[in-house]
Structure 1
Amino acid sequence: MTSVNPTQRPARSVLVTGGNRGIGLAVARAFADAGDHVAVTYRSGQPPQGFLAVQADVTDPASLDAAFAAVEAQQGAVEVLVANAGTTRDQLLMRMSDEEFDAVVDANLSGAWRVARRAVRGMVRAKRGRIIFMSSVVGLYGSPGQTNYAASKSGMIGLARSIARELGSRGITANVIAPGFIDTDMTRELPEATQADYKARIPAARFGDVDDIARAALFLAEAGYVNGAVLPVDGGLGMGH
């Protein structure tokens, strides 16, 4: 994805958690193309090329603190945070274990809270900042077999809005992107019949592209008077929720 920076503003320090693949990587590339200094966190696997990549686990506060310190040393305090890291452990409600529920909520919701808590240190000092939480249409729409995931993604809305009220007067915004079904490696692995069923529910009649999410993130990073909002990027799937 390529884009032009129309405002010719100074480059910002951007951090994307879980930025080594899929939506996170597309978001990182979009900010880099816009002229920003971009760092990404990754928990496992190979780090992406072309970014400051720091290994971190959002369930481990010490790991996050070390990652933020590395980013701050290289590109300054984080001005734009995209909290994208997350996981799934799908299971029917009656079969879901406490561990399966807790693990997803800890990574997705508590993890987002941890990175936001760490990022706002520098944002409060600078009196400006953008926090973008990557939620899901599932957090609004619900999904069978995903009570843990849906609860964690829905919780991000309350998290963002509380931060917006707490820190809005400091020039800090907190918003939520709620992607729908996006064309990624995960959705491509679904059976064709399942993909067709999902597409039949989407007014746009197609899956989204990772660049659709990246453009939404760029918009929220520029939009200083959008705060506590939920931006659905789902082809109309979740409208009204």
Structure 2
Amino acid sequence: MTAYADKTVLVTGATRGVGRQITDHVLAGGGRVLGFARQASYIDNANYTHFQVDLANATAVTAIFGEVRKKTSRIDIVINNAGVLTSQYAMIMPPAAAQAMVNVNLLAPFLISREAAKFMRKSKWGRIINIGSMAASLEPIGDSVYAATKAGLSTLANVMAKEFGTFNVTCNTLGISAIDSDMLAQLPRDKIEEIIKSLPVARFADIDDILNVIDFFASERSSYITAQTVFLGGVN
């Protein structure tokens, strides 16, 4: 038995990168996945249901739950994984890029967690897991808005933990360090390597590092773990 056996898990950014690997992990563990992504999906699994939605569009995010309700009466676990990053000095950051980070990295997780919690309230059980970033703690130059949205994600989870705790829903955040991905490829490799060298565990993350903490947060045994942020690699 795994944390996902007979569970319905909503994963955002489900079709690429870390989100795709999370999706495959949940499916392999016997779970059902509701995948949210802007792109179409080519995941061929009877336990996977795809919802094509632009997470930058708050109206579309809220509206898609009408489609979700046609497919399922329950959501047990939410993994808010999707994120966008524009790394740029604050004085020349395009406003549209800043707004996109706020919309996808912070507002979409708020809306998704809120709507999913309505399902969880009925079943009196749930797990909301946010994928944050080491940027929230390290505050690297060029990442002012990105870091702020990821710090806000932890605060969002902490407040929701208080609001949703009465119906047995936990809310936690995983602050991942650098992992090879499309997002990381946007950044200068030498700068990333400098940051990695400064960590107590001076290596890039791999997917098992991430899945290990997600599994912990999702576990039945973690019902007393809420309003926590766990950073990988020794970031604090």
TM-score (norm 2): 0.89
Partner AA of 2:154 in structure 1: I
Q: Could you tell me which residue of structure 2 aligns to residue 84 of structure 1?
A: 81
The structure 2 residue matched to 1:52, chosen from 12, 33, 49, is 49
Q: Could you tell me which residue of structure 2 aligns to residue 224 of structure 1?
A: 223
Structure 1 gap ranges (5+): none
Q: Could you tell me which residue of structure 1 aligns to residue 37 of structure 2?
A: 42
SS at 2:79 equivalent: strand
Higher mean alpha-carbon deviation, 139-148 vs 68-77, is at 68-77
Q: Could you tell me which residue of structure 2 aligns to residue 11 of structure 1?
A: 6
Shift in alpha-carbon separation, 1:23–1:122, aligned structure 2, 3 A:
same
The structure 1 residue matched to 2:24, chosen from 15, 21, 29, is 29
Shift in alpha-carbon separation, 1:86–1:164, aligned structure 2, 3 A:
same
Shift in alpha-carbon separation, 1:132–1:42, aligned structure 2, 3 A:
same
How do 1:141-180 residues align onto structure 2 when only pairs under 5 Å count? 141-180=138-177
User: Where has structure 1 moved over 4 Å in runs of 4 or more?
Assistant: 188-192
Query: Is the 2:41–2:50 contact (alpha carbons within 8 Å) kept by the matching residues of 1?
Result: no
Deviations 1:128-176 (A, max 9, x none): 1111111101011111111110000000111001101111011111100
Query: Is the 1:90–1:145 contact (alpha carbons within 8 Å) kept by the matching residues of 2?
Result: yes
Structure 2 gap ranges (5+): none
Sequence identity, in percent? Answer: 29
Partner AA of 2:77 in structure 1: V
SS at 1:178 equivalent: strand
SS at 2:133 equivalent: coil
Partner AA of 2:38 in structure 1: R
How many residue pairs end up in the alignment?
Answer: 232
- Distance in 1 of aligned mates of 2:184 and 2:95: 27
- Distance in 1 of aligned mates of 2:59 and 2:36: 14
How do 1:82-161 residues align onto structure 2 when only pairs under 5 Å count? 82-161=79-158
- Distance in 2 of aligned mates of 1:160 and 1:203: 26
- Distance in 1 of aligned mates of 2:231 and 2:224: 18
Query: Is the 1:183–1:210 contact (alpha carbons within 8 Å) kept by the matching residues of 2?
Result: no
- Distance in 1 of aligned mates of 2:185 and 2:97: 24
- Distance in 1 of aligned mates of 2:188 and 2:224: 42
- Distance in 1 of aligned mates of 2:94 and 2:54: 22
SS at 2:165 equivalent: helix
Shift in alpha-carbon separation, 1:6–1:23, aligned structure 2, 3 A:
closer
TM-score (norm 1): 0.87
RMSD in angstroms over aligned alpha carbons?
Answer: 2.2
